[in-house]
Amino acid sequence: MLDTLQRTATAAAGFQSNSTPSTAVSEHALVAGWRDGLTIVNLRGNAEDAAFRDAATQALGLALPVTACTSVVDAVWRIVWAGPDDWFVIGPKGQADAVVSKLHEALAGQHHAVTDVSSGYTVLHLSGRPVRDVLAQGCPLDLHPSVFKTGASAGSLFFKASIWLWRGDEATGYEALVRRSFSGYVWSMLERCTQECGLVTRRFV
CATH number, residue 57: 3.30.70.1520
Residue 113 structural domain = 39-119
Q: What is the pTM of this model?
A: 0.86
Long-range CB contacts (within 8 A, 24+) of 19-24: 19/198, 19/199, 19/200, 19/201, 20/198, 20/200, 21/200
Q: The CATH number of the domain where 185 resides is what?
A: 3.30.1360.120
What's the order of all strands across the beta sheet hosting 78-83? 71-73, 78-83, 86-91, 39-45, 112-116
Domain count across the chain: 2
Q: What is the pLDDT of residue 9?
A: 36
The residue ranking higher by pLDDT, 162 or 22, is: 162
For residue 125, how many other CB atoms are within 10 A of its CB?
A: 20
Higher per-residue pLDDT: 1 or 72: 72
Least confident of 42-51, 58-67, 96-105, 167-176: 167-176
30 and 44 both lie in a single domain: no
DSSP 63: P
Q: Is the pLDDT of residue 188 over 80?
A: yes
Contact 179, 161 (CB under 8 A): yes
Average of per-residue pLDDT values in the chain: 89
User: Of the candidates 96, 119, 142, which is a domain's last residue?
Assistant: 119
Same domain, 106 and 134: no
Name the domain boundary from 99, 119, 139. 119
